[in-house]
Amino acid sequence: MATRSAERGRTTRQRLLDAAVTLVPEVGWGGVTTRMVAERAGVAPGVVHYHFASVTDLLVAAGLGFTTALLDGLAAELAARPGIGEGIDWLLGELSQYSGADPASLLVMEMFLASTRLPELRERLGVQIGGFRAVVASWLTAHGYRGDAEAAAALLAASLDGIVLHRALDPGLDPAALAAPLRAMFAAG
Amino acid sequence: MATRSAERGRTTRQRLLDAAVTLVPEVGWGGVTTRMVAERAGVAPGVVHYHFASVTDLLVAAGLGFTTALLDGLAAELAARPGIGEGIDWLLGELSQYSGADPASLLVMEMFLASTRLPELRERLGVQIGGFRAVVASWLTAHGYRGDAEAAAALLAASLDGIVLHRALDPGLDPAALAAPLRAMFAAG
DNA sequence: GGTCGACTTGGGCAACTGTCCAAACCCTAC
DNA sequence: GTAGGGTTTGGACAGTTGCCCAAGTCGACC
């Protein structure tokens, strides 16, 4: 078998995915071109359409790979926090590394928007977010939250994304300063 | 003077702006082309570059015009609410008309993203948001909020945007269901 | 050695892009 | 009527796009 070739192909495919992940934040979802990705990945333009049916396919695969890793990491870390207050503080601390203008934030936002025009992407992204919210909700109840944990988890997740969004326009916005009202939300629940 | 011509020019310009506002949500900020806008506005392609230096210039002007009207309207309505609880309930009610996938939500999100690549747009959008936040903060203090009104207003504004963002992926997410934790947030302040 | 399959190359294609511009147009002022 | 401003037209331009493909490389097997 040509296992050597297949292995090389897999690493090339991964390089294309990585290149897409770095390019989307730079030039926007719709601004990524075949030749751009190929150049950044260090391969010939034709390779892109050998490994992916279209540029959009490549972007979808790259984006979903990124969010999977991100959300899985967040969920795992959150589960390890001993209490709700600690968890929120930790989340806000994490958030400080997402300025809203950093590559990760931009990629996620670009995916949100692209998903409104790509049903398949919307479907798969929705499943990921739903799973994350479920984890947060069960974590809240497990640590004594008495209100509607589903609603609280939804609001928490939405607030986090909203904060990132606003930080993009107001770099002076400090997530830590929002801890008080955010903790109040769950203390009262 | 050719006042008749000038007037016709102004309405054409406005038609181009309106066309851009409807197109950005449909095809994305970077997906709007000269001919697309011209066709939707019912004019020849050349007109676009007579009224605007570039397509980007047109999009910036159209987007900022839209957000100005939106934020001014929101601020005015909010100021008329008698109390914090009523204000939040009203805001959440308003929010139900922004599904996250509706043209208005999409346009605003597209502007957020485009602003990361267009310093001028970011600057002017930031000023608008800052102004809105200041209005909300003073409204909060005027109605008895005792905590850090600036932080609370920032979190409130961010939460609202975040909710819209999440509704795009989860249409079943009901803003009204988030009223309890959101009110708790400000009741405790 | 030769054969085979997976992968890669670089150029070719039609379609589309933003921008420009000479010419035509409409309306007002003389 | 003529002149002239502001506006509109539709085509031209060079550059870029996504996608395709014949030819090539490479290593594994016989």
Most confidently predicted of A11-15, A136-140, B97-101? A11-15
Q: What is the pLDDT of residue A2?
A: 59
Q: Classify each residue of A86-125 as buried b or exposed e, where b means 16 or more C-beta atoms within 10 Å of its C-beta.
A: ebbbebbeebeebbbbeebbbbbbbbbbbbbbbeebbebb
Q: What is the mean pLDDT of chain B?
A: 91
Contact between residue A104 and residue A70 where contact means Cβ atoms under 8 Å apart: yes
- Residue A189 clears pLDDT 60, i.e. is over it: no
Separation of CA B11 and C1' C28 in angstroms? 19
pLDDT at position A46 over 70: yes
Give the torsion sign (CA, B139, B142, B145, B147).
Answer: positive
Contacts with B166 from chain A: Cβ below 8 Å: 129, 154, 157-158, 161
The pLDDT assigned to A188 comes to 58
The reported pLDDT for the residue numbered A174 is 85
Segment A64-99, tens digit of pLDDT: 999 999 999 999 999 999 999 899 899 989 988 888
CB count, 10 Å around CB of A46? 9
* pTM for the predicted model, two decimal places: 0.89
For B142-167, what is the mean pLDDT? 88
Residues in A closer than 8 angstroms to B24, CB to CB, are: none
Joined together, the tokens standing for residue B10 give: 């102004």
Q: Test B116 with A101 for CB contact under 8 angstroms.
A: yes
For B104-144, the pLDDT digits (tens) are: 999 999 998 999 999 999 999 999 989 999 999 999 999 98
Is the per-residue pLDDT at A128 higher than 80? yes
C-beta separation of B114 from B73 below 8 A: no
Chain A contact for B98 (CB, 8 A cutoff): no
Task: Compute the average pLDDT of residues B144-161.
Answer: 88
B117/A contact by beta carbon, under 8 A = yes
Confidence band for B4, pLDDT divided at 50, 70 and 90 = confident
Q: Would you state the pLDDT for residue B122? A: 93
Residue of chain A nearest B128, judged by CA positions:
A169
pLDDT at A178 over 70: yes
- DSSP assignment letter at A42: T
Residues 6+ apart with CB under 8 A from A189: A145, A146, A147, A148, A152, B180, B181, B184
Residue A157 CA to residue A182 CA, distance in Å, equals 12
- Residue-wise pLDDT for A160-175, tens only, equals 888 888 887 778 888 8
Q: Specify the higher pLDDT residue, A137 or A169.
A: A137
Which pLDDT belongs to residue B22? 98
Q: Are the C-beta atoms of residues B30 and B118 closer than 8 Å to each other?
A: no
Domains assigned to chain B = 55-187 (1.10.357.10)
User: Who has greater pLDDT, A159 or B18?
Assistant: B18
Within a 10 A sphere around the Cβ of A82, how many other Cβ atoms? 8
pLDDT at site A56: 98
Residues across chain A: 189
The string of pLDDT tens digits covering residues B28-47 is 999 999 999 999 999 999 99
- Kindly report the average pLDDT of chain A as a whole number: 91
- Which pLDDT score, from 0 to 100, does residue B116 have? 92
Chain A residues lying within 8 Å of B28, measured CB to CB: 29-30, 113-114, 117
Predicted local confidence at residue B80, as pLDDT? 93
